[in-house]
Amino acid sequence: MSDKRKVAYSLPFFISLSVVIGMFVGFRLRDGFPDAPFFPRKTTSPVQEVLQLIENNYVDEVSTKTIGDSAIEALLTKLDPHSIYIPPAELSDINDEIRGQFYGVGIEFAIYRDTVQVLQVLDDGPADRAGLKVGDQILKVGEKKVSGVQVLEDSLRSALRGRSEAPVAIQLLRGNKLINVPVKRGMITINSIESAYMINEKTGYILLTKFTTETYREFMEALTDLKSKGMENLIFDLRGNGGGILSEAVDIVDEFLSGDKLITYTEGKHQPKKEYRCRREGQFETGKLMVLCDDESASASEIVLGALQDWKRATIVGERSFGKGLVQEQYDLQNGGALRLTVARYFTPIGRSIQRPYKQDREAYFSRHDMNDSLAKGGIRPDVKVDKSTMIFADSTGRFSEFEKLKEWSYRYVQSHPELAERFKDAKQLDQTLTITPTDWNGILPQPQNKMTESYLNQQVKAFIGGMILGKSAFYPIQHKQDLYVQEALRQLSK
């Protein structure tokens, strides 16, 4: 018999013997772990087990998806206030905000007395091209009635937005005329730079409201334009800026600092220390710089504030900032949602952590009632403090609601004076020739306690009116004449 035939006959025997030996060894090993199954089961977490038991055995019909979302949110409450779960239905809107773009019609609206009022129409946007005007009242969006009923702003915003350029049918009332108009949705850019202009011959002003993927590009365009107009000093306004993308903030700071200076660094349990340093020659490394902040300036805004303060490059004017020194990363989940998880802390160049304490409940954490408490911790303390208690509604406990009443009155004024759009061509002309006095808005707010408050309110009304008929670029130059933060920055520059 040949060697090949011997191998052919012997091979099945050896394979069988190997299987038997493997089973024997396996059972002997199992004897050391008597409770373990021979074929291990896939382990599940208690949360998964409970959800499965509810789905299979609970007495009534329930949505395990809703329960699961609630379980995740409850779990995250044991962490920091900025680690959050984003449900699938909300993820696209949040990602749009990060990108600074979304599909919509391009209007700013408010709901006054159960009616949707058009306050602003984006220049050359879909609504502008379709003929919508400030003062129009929207009655229906598609088949959905939005007038005379309780309308939630979020649901109305969702109806106006979309994921494509599909048209949306809008029914509106203009004066006494009913108009039906289809508006083809388009890509709307959410500009990070809300205002950039020359306050005087040497001083420029830039208002930055968020940090998106386009922020640095927008900032450089604004900075370049102001420098071409002779800017030597800059007021950089970060009030109300809740943050955004860290790298965009780093790139902006790089334009103010020279050399390879440290801007910030991050570090976490699972994240090694990472430094962010200047990498290029900045476009505004030597001019006088004032940075405005308030108790809503947070996160990426505080990276800017901390770096410029540590290097003594700028004078910080305003209030103590919010105090968010945590870095989040966003992880996509299989259900279409996402987890935004805190992975590190960031520190200023000299090693300051500006994170405010968060061991209390979340409501206490996000409350700003203690922001000016000298014993409170966290945030960036300004070099020059501007106290809000000296501002417009010092004698009122409802500052925001009063502010909104004034804005609504201004809208009604524009609505009843359609000739204003033709009468005024720019902010300067409107500011110099439009006269508003407390008599005009008598009954809307309590009468001013002093001349300073009266002057502020009159100027605020003119700013609202200017913004509505000329656009946001007209609002700020008018409003800043009575803005205590801006005026304090100008005083510091004149020293």
Write the pLDDT tens digit of every residue in 423-468.
998 999 999 999 887 778 776 766 666 777 778 888 889 999 999 9
- Integer Cα distance of 308 and 180 in angstroms: 52
| Structure token digits, residue 285 | 């490394």
pLDDT tens digit sequence for 113-166: 888 999 999 988 999 999 999 999 999 998 888 887 777 777 788 888 877 778
pTM, two decimal places: 0.84
For the domain spanning 101-189, the CATH number is 2.30.42.10
- Dig out the tokens for 450 from the structure: 């002093």
β-pairing, 233-237 vs 288-293, is parallel
Output Rg (C-alpha) for the chain, integer angstroms: 30
Residue type, 238: L
pLDDT tens across 404-425, in order? Answer: 888 899 999 999 888 888 899 8
Place of tokens 């935004």: 340
Q: Which of these, 225, 379, 414, 399, lies nearest to 303 by C-alpha position?
A: 379
Q: Residues 170-196: pLDDT tens digits? A: 999 998 899 999 999 999 888 999 999
Which two structure tokens, joined as six digits, stand for 158?
Answer: 């969702």
Q: Positive or negative, the Cα torsion across 117, 122, 125, 128?
A: positive
Q: Identify the three-state secondary structure at position 149.
A: coil
Three-state secondary structure readout of 407-460? HHHHHHHHHHCCCHHHHCCCHHHHHHHCCCCCCCCECCECCCCCHHHHHHHHHH
Weakly modelled stretches of the chain, pLDDT under 50? 1-2, 4-9, 11-39, 393-399
Per DSSP, 390 falls in state G
- If you ran DSSP here, which 8-state letter would residue 74 be given? H
> Domain spans of the chain?
13-78, 101-189, 193-385, 399-494
Structure tokens at 10: 């012997």
CA–CA distance, 458 with 479 (Å, rounded to integer): 10
Judged by phi (left if over 0) then psi (alpha if -120 to 50, else beta), residue 328 lies in beta
Q: Please provide the size of the chain in residues.
A: 495
321 and 371 in contact (C-beta within 8 Å)?
no
Structure tokens at 78: 């044991």
Please name the fold of domain 193-385.
2-enoyl-CoA Hydratase; Chain A, domain 1 (3.90.226)
Cα–Cα distances (Å) from 166 to 118, 146, 162, in that order, read 21, 20, 8
Token output for 249? 């903030």
